[in-house]
Structure 1
Amino acid sequence: MPAMAKAPALAASIELHEQPGHLIRRAHQIAVALFHETLGREVTPVQYAVLRALQDKPGIDQVTLAQEIALDTSSTADVAVRLEAKGLIVREVLPRGQRRLVLTDEGEALLARLVPGMNRMCRTMLADMDKNEQAEFVRLLQKFVHLNDDGRAAPRR
C-alpha cells in the first residue's frame, strides 16, 4: 500500500506576532503580571475594577456594576461575594431581589493604599513610550474597545 502524501501546511496569512488578538492576549498577560508585581495579590485586577467602580458610584446594584466594568452578571456576583467575604464591600438586598453594593471602610482604605502603586504601574507600562505615543496608545485602545463593544463579550454601557 503506497504511503499517502502529506498535504502542504497552509501558511497563516498574518505572522503570529502581528496578529492583533495574539498581541492583545500578550498585553493582558503583561498587565496582569505587572498588576500583581506592583500591587500584590490582595485583590485581582477584576476585583480592583469592582472596587474602583463602587468608589465612583457608591450604592449601585450588581447588574449596573456588571455593565460599568463590562463583566457578565454571574461573574460580577461571584466577585462581589468574594469581596464581601474579605470585608471590602457590603451587599444589601433591595426589594426586587437586586443587590446594592457599597464599599466598607476597609475597602476604601485598601483603595487608598493601592492608588500609589496603581499610578506607578500605569507609568511603568507606558514608560518606554514618549508622551505622544502614550496618549496615542491609550486613544487607540479606547477606540478599539468602543468599536468592538457590540455584545460579543460582556458589553459596557
Structure 2
Amino acid sequence: MAKFHDMPGHLVRRAHQVSTALFHNHMTAEGIDLTPFQFAAMSAINMNPGLDQASVAAWAACDRATIGGVVDRLVEKGYVTRAVSPRDRRARVLEITDSGREILNQVQQIALEIQDEITMGLTPDEKDTLVRLLKRVSENHPK
C-alpha cells in the first residue's frame, strides 16, 4: 500500500498549496489585489481581445459559474470591461483596460519569479521534466 505522503494526488495538492501561497504572498507584498484565477483570466483576455466569458473559462480550465464571479471582480477593479457581443447577444465579450494591462504586466514579471521559487532546488533538466509530466497529467484529464 502506498504511503500517503508518496501519493501523486497528495503531492499535487501540496504543490498547489505552495504555488497559491507564493502567489498570494508576492501579490500582498506588492500591494496587488489579484488571485491566481484572476491572473489567468486577465492573461487570456489580454492574449485574445474580445474573447467571450465561456472561452475565458475554457482557456483558464475553470467552470463557467466560477469565471463569472472572477470577471465580475475584474470589472469592479477596473481591469476588464464586459460588453454584449455584436455577433451573439447572449454572449459577453471582454477587453482588458489600460489599468488592467498595466497591472498584468507587473504581475507577469512577478509570476515568472514565482516559477523559480516553486522549482527552487531543481536542475534545469528536472524543471523541464516536471513541466512535461504536469502537462501530460493535465492533458490526460481534460476539463
TM-score (ref. length: structure 2): 0.92
Distance 2:9 2:121 in 1: 22
Equivalent residue, structure 2, for 1:33: 21
Distance 1:96 1:14 in 2: 53
Quick check: 1:88–1:105 contact (8 Å CA) kept in 2? yes
Distance 1:69 1:118 in 2: 16
Distance 1:24 1:90 in 2: 34
Matched, 1:144 2:132: no
* CA deviations over 1:120-145 (Å, ceiling 9, x no partner): 11111112100100000000000000
Matched, 1:133 2:131: no
Which structure's CA Rg is the greater one? Answer: 1
Q: By how many angstroms is 1:38 displaced?
A: 1.9
Equivalent residue, structure 2, for 1:7: none
AA of the residue aligned to 1:130: T
Equivalent residue, structure 1, for 2:12: 24
Q: Aligned runs of 1:17-96 on 2, under 5 Å?
A: 17-40=5-28, 41-94=32-85, 95-96=88-89
* CA deviations over 1:85-115 (Å, ceiling 9, x no partner): 0100001012422100010111000011112
Distance 1:68 1:115 in 2: 17
Equivalent residue, structure 1, for 2:2: 14
Segments of 5+ residues of structure 2 without an aligned counterpart are none
Q: What is the number of equivalent residue pairs in this alignment?
A: 138
AA of the residue aligned to 2:43: R
Segments of 5+ residues of structure 1 without an aligned counterpart are 1-12, 150-154
AA of the residue aligned to 1:139: R
Equivalent residue, structure 2, for 1:109: 102
Distance 1:14 1:127 in 2: 26
After superposing the two structures, state which structure 1 stretch, 37-46 or 86-95, moved more. Answer: 37-46
Quick check: 1:39–1:118 contact (8 Å CA) kept in 2? no
The root-mean-square deviation of aligned C-alpha atoms, in Å, is 1.1
More helix by share: 2
Structure 1 runs (4+) greater than 4 angstroms displaced: none
Q: By how many angstroms is 1:146 displaced?
A: 0.3
Match of 2:90 among 97, 113, 120: 97
TM-score (ref. length: structure 1): 0.84
The sequence identity of aligned pairs, in percent, is: 33
AA of the residue aligned to 2:96: L
